[in-house]
Amino acid sequence: MYSLTRSDGELWLELMKNNELVASIYAYTYADYADAGNAAVLKLQKGDTVYVKAHDDYDNSLYGEASQIYTTLTGELVFPDAKELDSANAVSAVGFTAALSVNASLPNGTQVVYDHVVTNVSPQGGGYDATTGTFTAPIDGAYVFHFYAVAHSSEEFWLELFHNNDFVESSYGYTSGSYADAGNTAVLHLKKGDTVYVKARPGHSVQLYGDSDELYTTFSGALLSPAVVASQAGGGVSNPGQQEIAFSVGLTHNFASSNGDKVLFNRVFSNLGQKYDINTGIFTAPVTGVYVFHYHVLAQYAQEVWVELMHNYHYVNTAYGHTAGSYGVGSNAAVIELTSGDQVYLDIGKHDSFLYGGTDEVYCTFSGYLLAPLPNFHPVVG
């Protein structure tokens, strides 16, 4: 779930499973618009409900227009229950969500240990360890990860996602006089036994906010595909509908534009199927199906960042960020039905937009994957 306040407005929203709190988001920036987001992986039974509501007895002021869609709720079925699968496809689901239910002070590169486990499904072993904060891959495959956080009022946080000992990406937040919110997403190809975790930036003291009924700081992951038919080098397959299609890319340098340029991401975390073109910034769907997209941006200091998710030439939604005297964040997501050959990309539009990035500071990211192929329909005309 993602949302943006009106100028000088507040939001405090909660993601609920039936009547149980799963995750929270909060945002407020004095005399400005504030963005917030969160994500969760849930194990649901038939008939369970999931919804977003305002925190009890709290007024929310959300911004939206037909051409500026910031407040979204996105959901997907990654794996049905194993008993509903035929024997040829019976692969057990792997997924977790853990949250911080207490305040945490993390000095100099300390790993985040998320104490409150919402979901932890891993029948093959491994999974999320609530004593260390580490996820261990039980099998080879493509996995998606999300991490979000909220800092104490007028404090900063600077978190980093790691795959084994390798830095992947960052999230940063600071808002004077309020609680900063930020997050990020990555799709990674893991080997059995690989580890993924979140830690504080070395050399910085990170102050994270947590409470039993305010779950802002979360870490989630899920197995997307237990086997990749084609290599990341782009090996051919006879049926591309059976191939894992997923990408995740980041920006390692500053990028500024006001000319409606596409955002060109230069660091590739994964490109399974080779359908994201690093030269154009465009993902092209190889098969008709349902696809999921996530994107996150960080503005340069005291500047605006404004990007739009586009399906071919059609607008989908927007991420916006600005914080006077700091770095504004924006995020959003969408599930889109694509036809083979359709294109999806991030566009600046007709806005002044200043994206921040560095070699070891990757905040601006774009990720997507095929959730489920659909049959191609060829209408007969005449």
pLDDT in tens, 182-212: 999 999 999 999 999 999 999 999 999 999 9
pLDDT the model gives residue 258 = 85
Q: Which domains does the chain have, with CATH numbers?
A: 2-373 (2.60.120.40)
pLDDT the model gives residue 85 = 47
pTM of whole model > 0.85? yes
pLDDT the model gives residue 375 = 84
| Measured distance CA(242)–CA(5) in Å, rounded | 41
pLDDT the model gives residue 350 = 84
pLDDT the model gives residue 83 = 53
pLDDT the model gives residue 336 = 98
| Measured distance CA(163)–CA(155) in Å, rounded | 27
**Helical (H) or strand (E) element with 141:** strand 141-150
| Measured distance CA(349)–CA(352) in Å, rounded | 9
> Across the strands, what pairs with 121?
95
Residue numbers in the chain where pLDDT is lower than 70: 82-91, 227-243, 376-382
Residue found under tokens 């080098």: 233
pLDDT the model gives residue 376 = 67
pLDDT the model gives residue 323 = 95
| Measured distance CA(144)–CA(188) in Å, rounded | 6
pLDDT the model gives residue 82 = 56
Tokens of 38: 């969160």
| Measured distance CA(41)–CA(98) in Å, rounded | 9
Q: How far is residue 34 CA from its own chain's centroid? A: 18
| Measured distance CA(99)–CA(11) in Å, rounded | 20
3-state secondary structure (DSSP) of residue 328 = coil
On the 0-12 / 13-18 / 19+ scale of CB atoms within 10 A, 284 is: middle
First to last CA, the chain: 45
Tokens of 303: 């500047």
Q: State the DSSP string of 30-52.
A: TTS--EEE--------TT--EEE
Q: Among residues 64, 24, 69, which one has the least CA distance to residue 215?
A: 24
- Give per-residue pLDDT as tens, 268-303: 999 999 999 999 999 999 999 999 999 999 999 999
pLDDT the model gives residue 190 = 97
| Measured distance CA(8)–CA(29) in Å, rounded | 6
Q: Find out whether 203 and 108 touch, Cβ atoms under 8 Å.
A: yes
